[in-house]
Structure 1
Amino acid sequence: MDPLLLGSVVGLITILILFSGISVAMGLLLVSAVFLVIFDGMRSLELMPEIFFGKLDSFALLSIPMFIIMGASIASTRAGADLYEALERWLTRVPGGLVVSNLGACALFSAMSGSSPATCAAIGKMGIPEMRKRGYPEEIATGSIAAGGTLGILIPPSITMIVYGIATETSIGRLFLAGVIPGLLLVSLFMAWSIYATWRSGERSAAQVSYSWSDRVEILPRVLPFIAIIVGVLYAMYGGVATPSETAAVGALLCLLVAMVIYRLLSPRSLWAVLRDSTKESVMILFIIAAAGVFSYMLSSLFITQSIAAWIGDLEVNRWVLMAAINFFLIVAGFFLPPVAVILMAAPILLPVIVSAGFDPIWFAVVLTINMEIGLISPPVGLNLYVINGIAPDISLKKILVGSLPFVLCMLVAILLLCLFPGLATWLPDLVMGPAY
């Protein structure tokens, strides 16, 4: 069978299998096993365990559970509420200050936790009722939290960036640095839209709350230690002090200690819950990584990957038309699949295509991640929308979606700006670590 036709069949069957409700990892393993047996015979199954476990034989993978423990220890405390309250006290006099403080809290908390749903839950439980009480439109209140929660997969340390780095054998340190300026750009776009939308709506705060300087300073000791840990983790990584995995391990230990000392997270049951939840999430991600490795081997063994890359390379189209098509594919894939699954399935196929077209793989990682952010606040599987609906069940899902759409446009603007000015993603990594090529 022609490899391109076979690739279409594999893609269609994979989509149908994943839509059946089966887990992503099991679906990829099932599809891989069936096509390997059909085209290479039963002996090909002997290689599957070796490929599966070989994909996990990487020191860099140790950073994933460590960063997840960092996030879980932060998410299990009142750090999100304190972060929200601290920013609200400092920004209360800024026009649209409450929604701006919510977005700032989302950006910082998502960077610390690395979890989009956890960010929505932690900041949304405090922010949404307060914004509604002060007269902010419900669409802005819910949409800003839903969009703000997506920032954790872009702002370092980011689990999705680690997964992309492992899948494409790209420097994780460069990927983290590449997400800094685009992450700040997205936060700025979100804040600008929120301030404009609040002003346009004509709503005014129902009750202006005034805070003294002592009130503003009083809460900082509960927030600054976590922020200091994040800054320390990034300094250790880029200062040549430790590898990403070693840095993540130290960061996880420090976050646990801060949670225990400041927030009195001392009971064995609470500590067990942090480790249990971290283990579950880590195993899920590692299982998908290993299964995606088998899936990639199957595609390569049947010459599907090579044929698709060659076919796209032979197309006589402008490279920006090609990039537009890739972005459309990523957005649609993000509507239905979690970011980790999309990255592991698509990155090995797309990487040779974008490199042959003259695009920087570090820059592409940022563009891909923003596309995945769009999927987190878009139906039918937009997880953040359902988390927000759970926090405020009296607000319809339709109204939450309407409130999120302007932030989707902000993400599309960010992608456009990255296309016009790729240095937004590549300048900082090149400055800190030197040119990649």
Structure 2
Amino acid sequence: MSSQLIGFICVAGMLGMIALRMPIALGMAIAGFIGFGWIVAFDPAISILESGAFETISNYDFSPIPMFIFMGVLASKARMSAELFHGAKTLFGAWRGGMALAAVTSCGIFSAISGSSLATAASMSKVALPEMKKNGYADSLATGTLAAGGTLGIMIPPSIALLLYGLLTEQSVGDMFIAGIIPGFMGLLLYMAAIAITVKIFPHLATPGEATTLRQKLSGLKGLIPFGGIFALIIGGIYGGIFTPTEAASVGAFGALIIALYRGMNWKDFVDAVAETLVVSTMIFFMVIGAEIFSVFLSVSQVSNSLVNTVTALELSPFMILLCILALYIVLGMVMDSIAMLLLTVPIVYPLAMAAGFDPIWFGIVTVITVELGLITPPIGMNVFVINSVAKDVRITSIFKGVIPFVLSDIVRLALIIGFPVLALGLL
């Protein structure tokens, strides 16, 4: 039996294990171990199990992950999300849909600290959703705004998804962060435009807010300063060559800790933040270890090369290859967490993208945007179910109805970045 056939059998077996609800990390590790042992030998396969785990955990390049997670958890524990929302709310004053604009703006800023879509959606919905409902917002607009706003966490740097893509493909993490700035803020601006257009066409979905004076607006900006300061410190340090991504993560986490302590975070909250960081980091590292073992298996099975040769023989245009890859991500995004999806698929699709002649940084940005889109795409958008777990009284169909304008705006953003790669590469 050829190594390629063994490879496809093991990939199919891995997908079957995941479909039967086996943890994705374990599914990748088992498929990689069995496949490598089948093709080479099981003694070397056992050595890979040992060395793969050790090399991943001891790899200095992966150390920003717990730091960025700790930074986001501190922001949540210190209840920064509440001050952020109330600060943003004053900026939009008496605008119709002003609270929705404040909510999506808060999600965008908070995501620059948390780096996680699910964490952003969960934290901001607990603060913004009760106020939006109390002020007469339709359930669909309120929940849809928060579900979509949470997805900004995957793109606006520092982003764990961009970090992992850079490490998996051996691209500069700093370049990935810089390339994500314009697409990330494009997403925020297009979401705001989607809200403005929606409430213009359907004014019954939202009520005007309370008028605020210039002094109140300036006072509200104070709540945004800590977030802007940490973001500027991280991105400015990386862009200016002052920090490596690892150093920037440590500086950002320290800055978030100082702010949290200043805002009265107690010892129990600190211990809880450390414990939550350890749990989430362990989960991600477990998936990275599984992906490393799976990647070694893919290299010996030549599955990726076989796919490249097959696609080359079909003589598909680069654009068609890109559409097929993006369609795969949208489908997977409906049922799978973004980090797991990237770890599972990037070792397979990245060689296809490189064979098609795409820029690796640009392809990473396009990939992450598509993953982001899958998080709110019916019928099983992950962020939609996160919001539904908070708003248990809102029907899931209402949330999906509410995300439609944001799905359309994401498609517009994706089309613009595909059509004009300079939007992702212009700052490099």
Query: What's the TM-score, normalizing by structure 2?
Result: 0.94
Contact conserved, 2:104 with 2:149, CA < 8 A, in 1?
yes
Separation in 1, partners of 2:415, 2:5: 33
How far apart, CA to CA, are the structure 1 residues paired with 2:23 and 2:39?
25
| Correspondence for 1:354 | 353
Taking the aligned partners of 2:304 and 2:253, their CA distance within structure 1 comes to 38
The residue type equivalent to 1:178 in the other structure is A
Distance verdict in 2 for CA 1:373–1:206, change over 3 Å: closer
- Describe the superposition over 1:180-216 as per-residue Cα deviations: whole angstroms up to 9, x where unpaired: 1111211122111111111111327556412233333
**Aligned equivalent of 2:155:** 154
Structure 1: how far apart are the matches of 2:195 and 2:182?
20
Residue 342 of structure 1: SS of its match in structure 2? helix
Indicate the residue corresponding to 2:172 in structure 1: 171
**Number of equivalenced pairs:** 427
Spell out, residue by residue over 1:206-261, the C-alpha distance to the aligned partner (whole angstroms, 9 max, x if none): 56412233333334434312320111111111111121101111111111111011
Q: 1:242 and 2:230 equivalent?
A: no
Give the stretch that moved more between structures: 19-28 or 221-230: 221-230
After superposition, the Cα gap between the structure-2 partners of 1:51 and 1:212, relative to the gap in structure 1 and judged at 3 Å, is same
Return the offset for 1:3: 4.8
Say whether residues 1:270 and 2:269 are aligned partners: yes
| Match status 1:108 vs 2:109 | yes
C-alpha distance in 2 between matches for 1:166 and 1:190:
29
**Is the alpha carbon distance of 1:311 and 1:53 closer, same or farther for their aligned partners in structure 2, counting shifts above 3 Å?**
farther
2:6 is the counterpart of 1:15? no
What percentage of residue pairs aligned between the two structures are identical?
Answer: 33
Q: Residue 54 of structure 1 corresponds to which residue in structure 2?
A: 55
Deviations 1:256-299 (A, max 9, x none): 111011x2002x21110001101111111111111101101011
1:29 paired residue number: 29
> Aligned-pair RMSD on alpha carbons?
1.9
Aligned to 1:203: 204
**Residue 403 (structure 1) shift:** 1.2
Query: TM-score normalised to the size of structure 1?
Result: 0.93
Measured at CA, do residues 47 and 204 of structure 1 come closer, stay the same or move farther in structure 2, by a change above 3 Å? Answer: closer
Please tell me whether the aligned partners of residues 73 and 256 of structure 1 are also in contact (alpha carbons under 8 angstroms): yes
* Alpha-carbon displacement from aligned partner over 1:24-73 (angstroms, at most 9, x marks no partner): 11111111222223332322323321233223443221111111111110
Contact 1:309–1:350, Cα closer than 8 Å, also in 2: no
Unaligned runs of 5+ in 2: none
Q: Secondary structure at the match of 1:364?
A: helix
Matched, 1:117 2:118: yes
Counterpart residue number, 2:261: 260
Tell me the equivalent position of 1:287.
286
Q: Which range moved further: 78-87 or 212-221?
A: 212-221
Distance in 2 between residues matched to 1:58 and 1:204, nearest whole Å:
50
Q: Which SS does the other structure have where 1:203 is aligned?
A: helix
Q: Deviations over 1:339-375 (max 9, x none)?
A: 1122122212222221221211111111111111122
Report the Cα offset of residue 396 of structure 1.
Answer: 0.3
CA distance in 1, matches of 2:323, 2:412: 13
Deviation at 1:100, TM superposition (A): 1.3
CA shift for structure 1 position 427: 0.8
CA distance in 1, matches of 2:57, 2:304: 22
Residues 158, 318 of structure 1: CA spacing in aligned structure 2 closer, same or farther, 3 A cutoff?
same
Give the Cα–Cα distance (whole angstroms) in 2 for the partners of residues 156 and 206 of structure 1: 33
- Alpha-carbon separation, structure 1, partners of 2:126 and 2:247: 34
Structure 2 CA distance for aligned equivalents of residues 309 and 281 of structure 1: 35
Distance in 2, Cα, partners of 1:420 & 1:223: 33
Stretch of structure 1 that moved more, 356-365 or 156-165: 356-365
Match of 2:420 in 1: 421
Q: CA, structure 1 residues 204+290, in 2 after alignment: closer, same or farther (shift >3 Å)? A: closer
Deviates more, 1:135-144 or 1:103-112: 135-144
Query: 5+ unaligned residues in a row in structure 1: which ranges?
Result: 430-437
Asked if 2 retains the 8 angstrom alpha-carbon contact of 1:334 and 1:372, the reply is: yes
Whole-angstrom distance in 2 between the partners of 1:205 and 1:296 = 49
Q: Decide whether aligned partners of structure 1 residues 208 and 235 sit closer, same or farther in structure 2, where only a CA change above 3 A counts.
A: closer
Distance 1:243 1:187, change over 3 A: same
Deviation at 1:89, TM superposition (A): 0.5
Does the CA contact (< 8 Å) of 1:136 and 1:198 recur in 2?
no
